[in-house]
Amino acid sequence: MPLNDPSPNFALITSFDARQWSGVTVFEQLGNSITVPTFAAGAGVYEDALFFLNGRSSLSSLTEMVSSLATFGSDWQVSINGDDLLEISNASTAFSIAPIGDDVFGWGTQTASIVGGRLVVTAELDWMRGIYLGGRFTLTSGGGSFTAPYSATSYRPRQDIMTLLRNRGVTNDADELYGTTCLEALHEAALSSTTSTVFWLINDDGHVEAHYPAINGDITWSSTSFRDRLGFSGSEASSVTSDDYVKLVADRPLPGALFPSRPYQAHFYSTETESTARRLLGGGYVSNFLGSYVTSNLTFDVDALLDQKDLYRHFTEGFLPYCGEGERVNFYQGWGDSRRSLRSGLVSTNQPAYDLLYTSENNGDLGRLRCSMRSTDFDLSFGALKKRVPVTVSLEHL
């Protein structure tokens, strides 16, 4: 089963307009220029900052990494099934699996069984929501074994495990939009093959993180406006992990993103049906249906000066200017799972309850809602202490 959290943390992330940096070199590393694409008319506005940073995909998916490390078996596949559990299989060789350390994939310790002519292990437990910071497992067959997805000292984070499963440029669904134009792909393409394993993501506090080999040296910002748009000040101190990878965390929250420290207080729907109606002379009406619209009404507290983190001025200057009335906002009802929300009534033989694109947990209450902002005015009052500031926003579903 899925997340099973009745009150998860949430996030709001606006669209990311990269058009002002069209064709511009935004930073340099290892003597290479990382340049934003030259956008054609109508292009350059990404659905949200996650799409811009990593395209919700990986250059090397978990399937590819298992396949490259395998010492037995053929046609390895790692996927998600209709019960929201991971599955790993190959076409030729029986095997057993055992986690190493934290079982973030939920495999448990078990032996493959034959399903549809393949040797399959289905995870016993839920996969871990949130940023993927590593997690390994051993596959054994007879006297042979190998460990995936990395070596013992490797540090290769992803936005979440679903992002780790999504193969950049190959996953063919509605979220496969920016396989070659996300920042991670642009950064990778600019570097040599030996130094190109880089990662960009948003952490649980709403700050952008960059991860890259220490041998690459520092990032040198060529565009301060681009740097500022990602929340970097230029004064960040990087840290080096045990396998000589650099972790660079932006000093400031990502503009256009809001990550309160607490779950929302209330979330309910309102609906509006548009039609034109005329009364008939003989009684009764005729009607022309125009559309039906669903709106999320979300109530939560913005952290202020004396709270866990001060988001008061970030809300006024770092968030609201990016989401005026009608602007795109993605509502992550449960941060840590970046898939779209799916109501249970749309589950069918063609659309499973869970896959790489959708989650139907709690009838769609724990997935990403794609919305437009309807609220425009906010009275950001607080009590005797400048701590919690109650806010209600209205977000119309797309």
**Residue-wise pLDDT tens digits, 97-141:** 999 989 999 999 999 999 999 999 999 999 999 999 888 999 999
18-38 confidence digits (pLDDT tens): 999 999 999 999 989 999 999
State mean pLDDT over 276-295. Answer: 91
pLDDT at 113: 94
**pLDDT category of residue 2 using cuts at 50, 70 and 90:** low
User: Which residues, in sequence order, are CB contacts of 336 under 8 Å at separation 6+?
Assistant: 3, 8, 9, 129, 130, 131, 160, 204
Tokens matching residue 376:
């425009």
Mean pLDDT across the chain, nearest whole number? Answer: 92
Which H or E run contains 86? strand 86-90
Question: Alpha-carbon distance 34 to 290, whole Å?
Answer: 46
State mean pLDDT over 273-282. Answer: 90
Sequence ranges of the chain with CATH classification 2.60.40: 62-156
**3-state DSSP percent of the chain in helix, strand and coil, to 5:** 15, 35, 50
Give yes or no for residue 196 having a pLDDT over 90: no
Of residues 215, 224, 222, 178, the one with CA closest to residue 200: 178
Tell me the helices (H) and strands (E) count for the chain, helix number first: 7, 26
Question: In this structure, are residues 33 and 160 in contact, taking their beta carbons and an 8 Å threshold?
Answer: no
Beta bridge partners of 120: 89, 113
Question: Alpha-carbon distance 41 to 266, whole Å?
Answer: 40
On the question of a cis peptide bond just before residue 149, with omega within 30 degrees of 0, the verdict is yes
Question: In this structure, are residues 136 and 147 in contact, taking their beta carbons and an 8 Å threshold?
Answer: yes
CATH classification (class only), 62-156 = mainly beta
**pLDDT category of residue 348 using cuts at 50, 70 and 90:** very high
Question: In this structure, are residues 118 and 390 in contact, taking their beta carbons and an 8 Å threshold?
Answer: no
364 φ, ψ to 5°? 90, 10
Question: Alpha-carbon distance 177 to 9, whole Å?
Answer: 26
Reported pTM: 0.92
- Token pair 């590593």 is found at 134
**pLDDT category of residue 172 using cuts at 50, 70 and 90:** confident
Question: In this structure, are residues 22 and 36 in contact, taking their beta carbons and an 8 Å threshold?
Answer: yes
Tokens matching residue 373:
């902002």
Tokens matching residue 164:
């780790």
How many residues does this entry show for the chain? 398
Give yes or no for residue 194 having a pLDDT over 90: no
Question: Alpha-carbon distance 132 to 146, whole Å?
Answer: 21
pLDDT at 387: 86
The conformational region for residue 60 under phi > 0 = left, psi -120 to 50 = alpha, else beta, is beta
Give yes or no for residue 151 having a pLDDT over 70: no
Share of the chain above pLDDT 70, in %: 97
State mean pLDDT over 242-246. Answer: 79
Tokens matching residue 292:
């039906």
